[in-house]
Amino acid sequence: MKIAIYGQNYVKDNTQKVVEKLLDFLLKKESTVYFEQNFIKTQKSTIQNSSSVKTFNTLDDSFDLLISVGGDGTILRAITYVRNLGIPIVGINTGRLGFLATIQTDEIETALSEIFNGEYKISERTLVRVTTNPKNKDIEETNFALNEIAISRKNTTSMITVETHLNDEYLTSYWADGLILSTATGSTGYSLSCGGPVITPDANNFVLTPIAPHNLSARPLIIPDNTKVTLKVNGREDQFLISLDSRIATLPNTTIVTVEKADFAIKMVERLDETFLDTLRKKLLWGEDRRN
């Protein structure tokens, strides 16, 4: 198999150990291993200088699998390499919560053996696509997000107004610190922390979640994922921030932001005994009560 390995560009002791264990397993399986060119610089010289290891700065559809080493944020950055290539992604969790990076460090050999034996399933995750008028170069280069896009204020403590249309019909103008448009995958992230609902990954929905709204009647709204959402910002400052899975750009208030479902999906590798409900119970501690 042709494997790409991606991780964050800073050194953590547990990441070093995980990479060594991972590489040892892959080489025993006679895989062709490629490290992302910046990530390999954080590894020990024995890995950097190994003749068995190659590097990449872009991917193509000849890769069979991308392994992300880190947390969910690492996977969100990894998809900027995968894009619409259809390369399956699996995450080894060296972070904290891990809704996407679900393989624990003590399960590496077991989980990867299952994958190499074809004993896994694929969960296809919907993304959002952003366009702006006028066009913005930073957004055009990577105009998609797996978790969410978020509109927020900049250089001010005052709230902003986010005028919102759904399929060209006026919905409302949110007076708030900002507005999140989340996918089902991202519903357990930023949106959840702002009071949004949890949505199962196979649901064909997005959710609009206002950030600290002035009007307490402004509640999260679930919409079909084939909805075109148009946003326009007004406020005391002339600019606002937009983030796509934490990739941030500054836009003038004259910008019209359009958000739609992307025309491709991300393939997440899951173990056969792994379910979203099981992950919810484990990660959010549902049903955990020391009195029981």
Q: pTM (2 decimals)?
A: 0.92
pLDDT recorded at residue 168: 97
Residues 142, 100 share a domain: no
**CB-neighbour burial class of residue 8 (10 A; exposed 0-12, middle 13-18, buried 19+):** buried
Residue whose pair of structure tokens reads 């077991």 in the numeric block: 110
Residues 106, 142 share a domain: no
The Cα 88–Cα 275 span in angstroms is 17
pLDDT recorded at residue 282: 84
Residues 135, 244 share a domain: yes
108 lies in which domain range?
Answer: 2-118
Residues 258, 137 share a domain: yes
Cβ atoms < 10 Å from Cβ of 231: 23
Residues 253, 134 share a domain: yes
Torsion-angle region of 156 (φ positive above 0: left; ψ -120 to 50: alpha; else: beta): beta
pLDDT recorded at residue 12: 62
pLDDT recorded at residue 11: 60
pLDDT recorded at residue 10: 67
Last residue of a domain, one of 83, 118, 153: 118
Residues 157, 48 share a domain: no
Residues 215, 113 share a domain: no
Residue 281 lies in a domain: no
Q: How many domains are contained in the chain? A: 2
Among 87, 94, 115, smallest CA distance to 264 is for 87
The Cα 104–Cα 118 span in angstroms is 19
Active site residues: 72
Residues 111, 57 share a domain: yes
Whichever domain contains 12, its CATH number is 3.40.50.10330
**CB-neighbour burial class of residue 179 (10 A; exposed 0-12, middle 13-18, buried 19+):** buried
Whichever domain contains 178, its CATH number is 2.60.200.30
Residues 169, 98 share a domain: no
Residues 253, 138 share a domain: yes
Q: Using only the alpha carbons of the chain, give its radius of gyration.
A: 20
Residues 135, 86 share a domain: no
Question: Which helix H or strand E contains 24, and what residues bound it?
Answer: helix 13-28
Residue 285 lies in a domain: no
Residue 237 lies in a domain: yes
Tokens found for residue 238:
């002339």
Which residue numbers in the chain have pLDDT < 70?
10-13, 289-292
Note the pLDDT tens digit of each residue in 189-216.
999 999 999 999 999 999 999 999 999 8
Residues 76, 33 share a domain: yes
pLDDT recorded at residue 224: 98
Residue 36 lies in a domain: yes
Pairing of strands 148-152, 103-104: unpaired
